[in-house]
């Protein structure tokens, strides 16, 4: 039973990721053209990290990006290893974080109402143009939304069952 749930969740995550990749294929195909000004500086910083620079928690002051942390640059490094240094490799973590966000939102809605995840997933895949724009940009939005969903999921788990409560409260 548990393995069936795990396989179902993994398949749904893969399906969501494939759908996002297909829908955003024109933007990903022309990733160099759709690279925003913040992403250019952050991608350059990620390239330096990829080439061996030390890993700080915030961008250095000379790049004028000290207002954000560096985790989206760190998420891009495995894609640099896989497909090489390119704008596409920098944009793929945003797609992946967005698919994790959609998947965890469907999971949370399934905890509340077992019939809701399919409708919620469709509504999130066919969302407004503003959210559609954010899916392909490697900013902190998708990461923050995914981590917020994880916190909400731990809260729902703590609220709904007392099994392994100390561990769930620790992760919350």
Residue 74: both structure tokens together? 């760190």
pLDDT digits (tens, 9 = 90+) for 117-142: 999 999 998 888 888 888 888 877 87
Q: What is the rounded average pLDDT of the residues 19-38?
A: 87
The rounded distance, in Å, linking the Cα atoms of 160 and 2 is: 18
pLDDT digits (tens, 9 = 90+) for 42-99: 888 888 888 888 877 776 666 555 566 677 778 888 999 999 999 899 889 889 988 9
The rounded distance, in Å, linking the Cα atoms of 11 and 106 is: 13
DSSP at 63: G
For a pLDDT cut of 70, what percent of the chain falls above it? Answer: 85
What does the mean pLDDT of the chain come to? 83
- pTM (whole model) above 0.85: no
pLDDT of the residue at 21: 92
User: How far is CA 67 from its chain centroid?
Assistant: 20
Give me Rg for the CA atoms of the chain.
18
Band (pLDDT 50/70/90 cuts) for residue 16 is very high
Strand partners, 69: 58
- Secondary structure class of 32 (helix, strand, coil): coil
What DSSP assignment string belongs to 110-164?
Answer: HHH-TT-HHHHHHHHHT--HHHHHHHTS-SSHHHHHHHHHHHHHHHHHHHH--TT
pLDDT of 156 > 90? The answer is no
Quick count: other Cβ atoms within 10 Å of Cβ 85?
16
147 vs 82: which has the higher pLDDT: 82
């Amino acid at each position: 039973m548990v393995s069936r749930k795990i396989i179902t969740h993994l398949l749904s995550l893969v399906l969501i990721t494939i759908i996002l990749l297909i829908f955003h294929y024109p933007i990903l195909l022309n990733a160099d053209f759709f690279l925003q000004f913040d992403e250019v500086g952050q991608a350059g910083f990620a390239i330096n990290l990829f080439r061996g620079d030390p890993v700080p928690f915030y961008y250095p002051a000379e790049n004028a990006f000290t207002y954000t942390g560096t985790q989206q640059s760190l998420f891009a490094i495995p894609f640099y290893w896989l497909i090489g240094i390119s704008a596409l490799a920098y944009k793929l973590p945003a797609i992946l974080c967005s698919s994790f966000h959609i998947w965890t939102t469907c999971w949370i809605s399934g905890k509340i109402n077992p019939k809701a995840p399919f409708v919620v997933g469709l509504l999130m895949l066919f969302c407004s143009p503003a959210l559609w724009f954010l899916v392909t940009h490697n900013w902190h939005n998708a990461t923050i939304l995914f981590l917020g969903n994880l916190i909400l999921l731990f809260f729902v788990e703590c609220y709904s069952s007392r099994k392994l409560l100390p561990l769930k409260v620790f992760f919350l």
